[in-house]
Amino acid sequence: MAYWGDYHTHTVYSHGHSTVMQNVERAAEMGLKEIAITDHGFRHMMYNVRRTAFPDMKKDVEEARAKFPQVNVYLGLETNLSSRKGNIDILEEDFDNLDLIVCGYHKFVRTDSFADYWKFFIANMAYNITKISTVRLRNRNTDAYLRAIERHEIDILSHPGNGFPADLIEVSRACKFYGTYFELNGKGNYVSDADLEKMCGEGVQFIVDSDAHDLERIGEVSKPQAIIDRVGIPYELIANWEKLPKFRSRIKKGLYE
């Protein structure tokens, strides 16, 4: 019994410490059936994939596929929320070049406007310093999540709630409705046990990922596993436990039979 895929890993194209080939080789060694390369989106101010480097990243993925045919390798990005309206930092034409769309809130992202910078970036930075959340901030963040999930073919919502207070029950309902997986992240958990129990009761679909930035952490999911055991999340609600997920963006492209 095992997780069959790891769909959130980073490489030297953002702020990981390993190459695409090394990540895929590690996945092969661990017996994973699938792995996704999901470096940070284009508008992260510190760790972004550069658009000029994206063709090289794609080439590296193709070479890794050829060398390790036993592993299905997805070329993805961990895109960034860039506005209160749920915009993310890729263009419409970028979707055709990606196998997988992961999305989440991150600090240090170029926002769409000055108003977004003040009400989105600065407001959440203040929360991360003080840990004081207002109703207005929580509602604004929830709305940004909901709009992003509705408007974009997001396959995985990465580390929901990390530095970004929101009504995660409402967000998880949107994930279920639109077919976006709610991530249980290998680096940390930002959802209460009580909320996770409610999500299970509503049949929300989860995915377990490492969020690896180092080679040794590929497939490392001990933290989410502890949550699953503690909360009693049913394995039938986990998309990559003893099965392969079907991703929303790929369904839209007609890539499944």
pLDDT at residue 1 tops 90: no
Average pLDDT, the chain: 95
* pLDDT greater than 80 at residue 218: yes
List pLDDT tens digits, range 105-137.
998 898 999 899 888 889 999 999 999 999 999
Q: What is the pLDDT of residues 158-172, one digit of tens each?
A: 999 999 999 999 999
Domains and CATH numbers, the chain: 41-48+76-252 (3.20.20.140)
- DSSP states along the chain: --B-EEEEE--TTTT-SS-HHHHHHHHHHHT-SEEEEEEEPTTBTTTPPPGGGHHHHHHHHHHHHHH-TTSEEEEEEEEEB-STT--BSS-GGGGGG-SEEEEE--SSB--SSHHHIIIIIIHHHHHHHH----HHHHHHHHHHHHHHHHHS--SEE-STTTT----HHHHHHHHHHHTPEEEEESS---S-HHHHHHHHHTT--EEEE--BSSGGGTT--HHHHHHHHHHT--GGGBTTBSS----HHHHHTT---
To the question of pTM greater than 0.95 for the whole model, the response is yes
